[in-house]
Copies of this chain bind each other. A is one copy, B any other.
């Protein structure tokens, strides 16, 4: 066999930070560990990468197995490989983050028991391993991409009101936005289709429903650059298929 096999190998896992906006809060789906190490502690779902599956496939498989979540937006986040991050031995983890829309969420509920639970990202329990860093980094990335891509729409149902859209931005960014400016901007982008339907709930004017017109993740035009000429955005950062 080739000389590759002479080297000792670390274990490789994938771990996924699953976000969803629930009841005007940004939540993360956690699993309570049933085995050592960190038995009883909460952790983000993940597991070992199979020898014949891509990293993203592995992440999706683990997600399905552990939380029943399928067909959602996923993106590679960062690879964590500090030698001591897993007491069992050298383990490198490729972290992903996933976004679940309000209307995809039943699936996550369909799991067995109390071992899977949504927590506010702003009030997490102590997490196993270095999972707290992973979640923190995922939040940073999500906020960042919210500003120049359409990732956010992955968190909304197909039909949504502008108020819901704005509320989603507000929870994630953890700050209030101006209603008129927000609407002006988002409507001027030409990525929303106004529907005939309205959503009426409660004793007030019904809200117009919209849908997101793009199939793919889109990035808005690049922010002002170093001197001269507008730069259309080259690539999309992250969201690569996976190797090759």
Contacts and interface: CB of A to CB of B under 8 A. Distances in A.
A88 interface: yes
A226 B177 contact: yes
Contacts of A243: 80-82, 85, 130, 133
Nearest to A47: B7
Given A78-B240, A81-B49, A234-B143, A55 B92 contact: yes
Interface size class for chain A? 35 or more
Contacts of A237: 140-141, 144
Nearest to A189: B226
B182 A227 contact: yes
A88 B2 CA distance: 6
A71 interface: no
A185 interface: yes
A122 to B, nearest CB: 14
B147 A51 contact: no
A151 interface: no
Interface stretch (A9-17, A38-46, A101-109, A196-204): A9-17
A147 B10 contact: no
A148 B153 CA distance: 24
Interface in A178-213: 178-186
A175 B232 CA distance: 12
22 contacts: A2-B36, A2-B88, A4-B86, A52-B90, A53-B83, A55-B81, A55-B92, A80-B242, A80-B243, A81-B242, A143-B234, A146-B226, A147-B226, A147-B231, A148-B223, A169-B226, A173-B225, A173-B231, A177-B226, A182-B226, A186-B227, A223-B224
Interface of A: 2, 4-5, 7-12, 36, 48-49, 51-55, 76, 78-86, 88-92, 94, 130, 133, 137, 140-141, 143-144, 146-148, 166, 169, 173, 175-186, 222-229, 231, 234-235, 237-238, 240, 242-244
